[in-house]
Structure formats: structure tokens, C-alpha cells
Amino acid sequence: MPAAWTKVAWPAPGAARRREWPLLAGIPGNQETTMSEHVYKQLELVGSSTKSSDDAIRNAIDRAARTMRHLAWFEVTQVRGHIEDGKIAHWQVGLKVGVRLEDSK
């Protein structure tokens, strides 16, 4: 088990509800490792690429980032491909993307 996954601090009964996110702790550049009170809208995207599934993910996120703010996380939900002459010709990846809603002023 990766060391980052062992950093879960569950509160004692009656204590303040705070939990460290073990999966976020190991992400480079991530400064926030505690559960926040943000609210997210979940979008479904499908990225495609002739290169790789990773490239299909990047294409979907890069395109969404051009028109949306506060993209926060993603989850791969589907991976599909097209085969031509016995080789992978095209990748298609379904994603759920979390967009943090802005706080009201």
C-alpha cells in the first residue's frame, strides 16, 4: 500500500469532522490535503485520440479548460477503442469531471 494512502485521520466520536484526503496528498503541486466545504458540479466528457488513452484524457481536459474555470478532478469511467487491421486506430475515454462552484459574494 502506498505511504500516501495511510495518512487518513478519522476523528474521534464527537470531534470535529475533518479527514485528510490520502489520494490528493501524493499529487505534485497539490497544496490542499484536507476535505474542504466546496461544492462541485459533475460533468461527463468524452475525449478521443489516435495516440493513446492518456492523450484522449488530456484532450478532453485541455478542451474543457479553455471554456471552464475551476476544474478540480476527474475520474475515468470508460475506455473504448477502434481497431483497424488488427491495430488500435483510435482511443475514446469517458470521464467524469468535477468543477468547483464559485462561492457567492
pLDDT digits (tens, 9 = 90+) for 62-85: 999 999 999 999 999 999 999 999
Q: Position 27: which residue type? A: I
Looking at the chain, the domain(s) classified CATH 3.30.1660.10 span 38-105
**CATH homologous superfamily for 38-105?**
Flavin-binding protein dodecin (3.30.1660.10)
Q: Position 19: which residue type? A: R
3-state secondary structure the chain: CCHHHHCCCCCCCCCCCCCECHHHHCCCCCCCCECCCCCEEEEEEEEEECCCHHHHHHHHHHHHHHHCCCEEEEEEEEEEEEEECCEEEEEEEEEEEEEECCCCC
Q: Give how far Cα 32 sits from Cα of 65, 78, 85, 97, 99, Å.
A: 20, 28, 47, 18, 16
Identify the pLDDT of residue 28: 52
- The structure's pTM equals 0.63
Identify the pLDDT of residue 47: 97
Identify the pLDDT of residue 11: 54
Of 25, 26, 23, 21, the closest CA to residue 38 belongs to: 21
Low-confidence ranges of the chain (pLDDT < 50): 1-10, 17-23, 25-26, 33
Sign of CA dihedral 39, 41, 46, 48: negative
